[in-house]
Structure 1
């Protein structure tokens, strides 16, 4: 996650050093100085890779997440907790894409950085970036927990796996994650006044926003060490561990521990259909776990092995990492939506494809088995 944020912050850090070195040169025109700063080839990513990727990924992610939100909020789906979470996930991922890739496109194509406009934007944009990326991972985690409970603990299922419970849990996650990242609103970024002298010894002043965590020695050490570990665990490691455990519980419950009680309560035909549907969700969760760790593992490696404030030395690696991490937010709708028959049926209904009577019958059939799968 830190790479997503440091796309702007590390560049600002490098530019800050360049500003100080340039200011020591007497009689440097302000316009020349600004031009030199903008053209400094020290970005931590390669624009030749990120420029086309940013536009394509933002386009696909916008359509996919918007479409997913519309589908998951349909009457026949929003009454189930799982689809409620996925609707929230679609919105959160959409915000992540516009915060990160939107600012990236503005910087690469229009030389305009949102975070460098004023200190409030610096703090708020950085804060939202961390909150939404963490929230995205934890929504995926809660989906796995929701499904594990749904197919194992019947008593808890009635209380936990409900739409109202999903709303409350999502709100609680927003509050907790916001509190964990609240230090950004207090200490991130600083203002600097730079004095320039022209040929005629006329002084001019420039207010510059340094949107970095290098505002004090204490905060720099906190952000680079303790908080970096917190970010690593909360964004990748803990969610992946929980998702893996939940996927294992679901797989064991469905493949090895299907109780005879279920067989007695339902007909063999319904049991077979329910088991088949439940196996689909189990396979999907395993695939999601694998995709999650594959796409975000490079971030973990980068955080562990890259030198502090030396990200510009790994431009190609950081570019690939950026591509993979944002793909995780842009393509979630593919992994969830395509694996869910209810999603496909509802989508066809929205697009006016297929026989409406058959569609309604399929939705009714799928609705019988939402306690064990999507």
Structure 2
């Protein structure tokens, strides 16, 4: 199998990396965290690069690209631990393109592609424990439309977005709805998370909603799988940068008159981290390439990928801190912010223990080894 990237993909990678290096440095990011963890201006710059239209068809003003192109861009955003939730835009684009009717597509996809609107997935509930088939929010028919009531937690930039994709139950079955944040009955409480990004609690009380699809569970599973693949790609970029920072420190810090990177025990530790780095990269590729697979195969692949990524994120992040010593957890040092991002990534879209259970539950007699 050829894992070389095309010239267009390499140009995309180069463009995003240049933007991250020049326009999203460490001190700039710290300023955004202090200002609330989300910047519409920075999100607009991502739109200017065409990234918000990656999954939107050309007929709706997008670039009509695919998962591999998105993976390339997200790796570079991960290197800069960019706060703005591009992965959520990919989720919204993919779900609306695949499940919404033509009128809803015509209304929202051009705005998503242009970066004029931000739509995120609001699916987490306190009692669900990462289970997608558990949904306490309810929807009721109201004339020609719908209303949704319920509470969603840890919604990315939930108090700053234009609309939310909300799963809710209708007669015991999950459906998926689009709810505009400015609609009546929508209340949000925003906050900064541990890694500096922004999230919100969202309370819905008979909020007007538009039905995206009555087969909400299928759409929700697809949405989360897009999110997992995007997160894996972003995580690879963050791991790559963490490795660079750690290697630079080991080759600069001196003890007993020599750089500590010459100590054999620390070199072995870095070798173990490198192994986890490459395992993460290979499973990110695997997740990306399985996004268009049949649903059951895709779900198995995402669980496997997220489990390995969780292992790698924890191992690389914790060992980086140990190799740095005390400076590795100080707010003034860039490495601590990568550690926090890696740690938070491990629990997004289901933590490692959850996905280990998913891998076990979906295991087949031949474990996928033989055709």
More strand by share: 2
Higher relative contact order (CA 8 A, sep 6+): 1
TM-score normalised by structure 1 residue count: 0.30
More helix by share: 1
TM-score normalised by structure 2 residue count: 0.30
**Considering only CA atoms, is the larger Rg found in Structure 1 or Structure 2?**
1
